[in-house]
Amino acid sequence: MNKFGDRIRGLRKAKGYSLRQLAPLVGVGFSYLCKVENGKLDFDGTASESLIHRLADVLEGDEEELLLLAEKVPEPIRRRVIARPDAFRRLAELSDRKLDWILASLD
């Protein structure tokens, strides 16, 4: 259960980077990157949003996907939830099946 780290590692290998090569490109130390990939950060948590942003950039990954794997709510979604709390409170209570139905009816 380390979806985020595994994804990062995958993207990194795909680009042929070593930890020491990638680290300076995203502005952190290589040892920190290692911990990020293995989910071994001292404090139980994940990388900061700004680091995820830089990683997505350099590795050409989907930033929102990475944020979600790291269990963070991406800003565009967050803003929308805050703007329309009435709507999202209700939507959040819906079953998977009803969500699917709504998505289908959007076309």
Residues that bind DNA (CB under 7 A): 18-21, 23, 27-32, 34-35, 37-38, 40-51
Judged by beta carbon distances under 5 to 8 A according to partner kind, the member of a second copy, DNA, none in contact with residue 10 is none
Structural tokens at position 18: 């070593």
**Please, which of residues 65-84 interact with a second copy by CB under 8 A?**
65, 68, 71, 73-74, 76-78, 80-82, 84
Alpha-carbon distances of 97 from 40, 50, 89, rounded to whole Å: 36, 34, 17
Distance in Å, CB of 54 to DNA, minimum: 9
> Under 8 Å CB-to-CB from 35, ≥6 apart: which residues?
41, 42
